[in-house]
Amino acid sequence: DAMVIQNPRYQVTQFGKPVTLSCSQTLNHNVMYWYQQKSSQAPKLLFHYYDKDFNNEADTPDNFQSRRPNTSFCFLDIRSPGLGDAAMYLCATSPGHSYNEQFFGPGTRLTVL
Amino acid sequence: KQEVTQIPAALSVPEGENLVLNCSFTDSAIYNLQWFRQDPGKGLTSLLLIQSSQREQTSGRLNASLDKSSGRSTLYIAASQPGDSATYLCAASDSNYQLIWGAGTKLIIKP
């Protein structure tokens, strides 16, 4: 089945140790998104790609970077994780036209020790 | 600036009841409105998407409506079941294909 896949599902890292989260999609969608979601809060958009065009939200910390090497894959790099970066990280995709339903992966739960 | 509100924040009803979850938005210039379900510690599952030109969408026991003039959307769940217990989020899509989120309604269906 076409889907959005995130790896790993659970990631534990140490304070300040870089970490990379991955997302892949078989939907062939143009747009990919990274969200951060903390407990009992709505998802917060970090970045999105429309094809290769990168769009950074104004309040996304510089500590967060992203790469999209091809249509299918997108990576979230956290260069120096702090305790406040512990959260669920959600990847989503959408076709990128007017019928723009977003499809989400299962998320990666990041713990920072 | 678009703002999306969901009231109540939590709702508990007995199994078998029909129920309505509410979502309101301040700017009627939306592309679409999407309802999601989220189970604890899990990702988001898309339930229904209503285009701005549509009034409602149905999927099984779920029916979502959209009234742009009043800035409201509702999600109707018929014959609720304990498995419907989850947090339900609505999100309005703007012209940049970005979602503006409500804070969600945590629904508990009591057996």
> What's the pLDDT tens digit per position in B41-96?
888 999 999 999 999 999 999 999 999 999 999 999 999 999 999 999 999 988 77
Q: What is the DSSP string of A47-77?
A: EEEETTEEEE-TTS-TTEEEE--SSSEEEEE
Q: How far apart are CA B89 and CA B1, in angstroms?
A: 19
**Where are the strands (E) in B15-95, listed by range?**
19-25, 32-38, 44-51, 56-59, 62-67, 72-77, 86-93
Q: In chain A, what residues touch B42 (CB-CB under 8 Å)?
A: 106-107
- At A42-96, the pLDDT tens digits run 999 999 998 888 888 888 999 999 999 999 999 999 999 999 999 999 999 998 7
Provide the sign of the torsion angle of the four alpha carbons B31, B62, B90, A90, taken in this order.
Answer: negative
Question: Distance from B87 to chain A by nearest Cα, in Å?
Answer: 9
- What is the number of helices (H) and of strands (E) in chain B? 0, 11
Among the partner-chain residues B31, B32, B43, the one whose CB lies closest to the CB of A104 is B43
Q: Name which of B66, B101, B23 is nearest A104 in CA terms.
A: B101
CB A21 within 8 A of CB A6: yes
B104 sits in the region (left: phi over 0; alpha: psi -120 to 50; else beta) called left
What the block records as the tokens of A30 is 């143009």
Among the partner-chain residues A42, A101, A106, the one whose CB lies closest to the CB of B42 is A106
CB A9 within 8 A of CB A105: no
**Where are the strands (E) in chain A, listed by range?**
4-7, 10-13, 19-25, 31-37, 44-50, 53-56, 64-67, 73-78, 87-94, 103-104, 108-112
At residue A17, does pLDDT exceed 80?
A: yes
Average pLDDT for chain A: 92
Amino acid at B54: Q
pLDDT of residue B81: 97
pLDDT of residue B84: 97
Q: Name which of A25, A69, A66 is nearest A47 in CA terms.
A: A66
CB B58 within 8 A of CB B107: no
| Chain B, nearest residue to A92 by Cα | B44
